[in-house]
Amino acid sequence: MVVMPGGVDIHAHIAGPKVNAGRLLRPEDHSQQILNKTKVARSGVGRSVPSTYFTGYAYAKMGYTFAMEPAMPPLEARHTHEELIDIPIIDKGAYTLLGSNWFVLERISEMNLDEMTAFVSWLLETSGGYTIKLVNPGGEETWAWGRNVHSLDDKIGSFKATPRTIIKTLATVNERLSLPQTIHLHTNNLGIPGNFETTLETMKCVKGISPKKSRETNMHLTHVQFSSYGGKEWSGFCSEAQEITNYINKNKHISCDIGQIIFTNTTTMTADGAWEWALRGITEYLAWSPRSGSKWMNAQVELETSAGIVPYIFRRKNSVNAIQWAIGLEIPLLLKDLTKVNISTDHPNGGPFTFYPKIFSWLMSKKARDEVLRGADKAATEKTTLSDLSKEFSLLDIAQVSRASAAQILGLKSKGHLGIGADADVAIYKFDSPLDKLNENYKEIEKGFAESVYTIKDGKIVMKQGEITASPFGRTYHVKTNIPNDWRIMIQDAIEERFQKYYTVSLGNYAVQKEYFPREEIIVTELQ
Partner 1 sequence: MKITLSLKSPVIKPLIPIEAELISPDVFANKELDEIKQLSIWRGNKEIPLCEVIDIKFEGQKEENPENIEIILNGDFSRFKRIGQFMSAGSIVANGPVGMHLGFKMSGGKIVIKGNTDDFAGANMEGGEIHIQGNAGHYLGGSIRGEWRGMSKGKIKVEGNVGNECGVWMRNGLIEILGNTNIFLGMHLHRGTIIVHGDVAERVGAEMTGGTIVILGKVKDVLPSFEFKSKKSEIEFEDYGKLKGPFLEFEGDFAERKQGTLYLLEKKNEHLLY
Task: Write out the residues near partner 1 by the rule CB under 8 A.
Answer: 25-29, 31, 288-292, 294-295
User: Who contacts 42 (Cβ-Cβ below 8 Å, separation ≥6)?
Assistant: 53, 471
Q: How far apart are CA 453 and CA 464, in angstroms?
A: 6
Instruction: Report d(CA 264, CA 65) in Å as an integer.
Output: 25
Angle between helices 319-334 and 241-250 (to 10 degrees): 20
Least distance to partner 1 from the beta carbon of 355, Å? 21
Which is nearer to partner 1, 283 or 321 (by Cβ)? 283
| CB closer to partner 1, 23 vs 475 | 23
Strands 467-468, 460-464: pairing kind: antiparallel
Instruction: Name the residue among 350, 342, 339 with its Cα closest to residue 256.
Output: 342
| CA distance to 190, 315, 316, 323, per residue, from 230 (Å) | 12, 20, 20, 11
Q: Which is nearer to partner 1, 264 or 408 (CB)?
A: 264
Of the two residues 28 and 153, which places its CB atom closer to partner 1 in the complex? 28
Q: 341 with 401: CB under 8 angstroms? A: yes
Q: Backbone phi, then psi, for 467, in 5-degree steps? A: -100, 130
Closest CB 19 distance from partner 1, rounded Å: 16
Closer residue to partner 1 in complex, CB, 182/283: 283
Q: How many residues does the chain have?
A: 528
Specify the residue, 314 or 442, whose C-beta has the smaller distance to partner 1: 314
The least distance separating partner 1 from the CB of residue 30, rounded to whole angstroms, comes to 8
Choose between 311 and 351: whose C-beta lies nearer to partner 1.
311
**Residue 158: partners with Cβ closer than 8 Å, 6 or more residues away:** none
Closest distance to partner 1 from the beta carbon of 68 (Å): 28
Q: Which is nearer to partner 1, 23 or 223 (CB)?
A: 23
Torsion sign across C-alpha atoms 215, 220, 224, 229: negative
Strands (DSSP E) found in 192-349: 219-221, 229-230, 238-239, 254-257, 265-270, 297-301, 305-313, 341-342
Beta-carbon contacts of 296 under 8 Å, excluding residues fewer than 6 positions away, are: 276, 277, 280, 308, 309, 310
Distance CA 47, CA 155 (A): 40
What 3-state class would DSSP assign to 36? coil
Q: Where are the beta strands (DSSP E) in 369-473?
A: 426-429, 454-457, 460-464, 467-468
Q: Which is nearer to partner 1, 41 or 77 (CB)?
A: 41
The C-alpha atoms of residue 67 and residue 286 are separated, in whole angstroms, by 33
Closest CB 12 distance from partner 1, rounded Å? 22
Report, in Å, the least distance between residue 38 CB and partner 1. Answer: 13
Q: How far is the CB of 298 from partner 1 (least distance, A)?
A: 18
State the minimum distance, in angstroms, from the CB of residue 193 to partner 1. 26
Distance from chain centroid for Cα 201: 21
* Closest separation in Å from C-beta 50 to partner 1: 15
Q: How far is the CB of 347 from partner 1 (least distance, A)?
A: 20
If the CB atoms of residues 31 and 112 are measured against partner 1, the closer one turns out to be: 31
